[in-house]
Structure 1
Amino acid sequence: YAILRSIPNKLGGVIALVFSIAILMILPFSNSSKFRGIQFYPINQFLF
């Protein structure tokens, strides 16, 4: 809603709001293949 209010043009605000929601929904699927288990990260092994 803050994105919608920060842009003075109504159509631009709606487009920015839609794009921000789309980016938040696409982000979890973009780098799921790069994530590996905790055994590949020695710093995480040390911390946990």
Structure 2
Amino acid sequence: MNLVGAGLMLFGKVLEETVSEAGGMVTSLRCVQLAKDTNDRLDKILAELDNKS
């Protein structure tokens, strides 16, 4: 993503702000997905612990 954005920016196809904003959005979306996955794993672990009690 960053390499494509840098290439487009070098050839004058997009503005620097657009590339920066797109990179930030991709990073934010990935962080949200990682947090959701972690929360799902914790929920599963807690359910397993409740079943063992």
TM-score by length of 1: 0.48
Q: Normalized against structure 2, the TM-score is what?
A: 0.45
Greater radius of gyration (CA) = 2
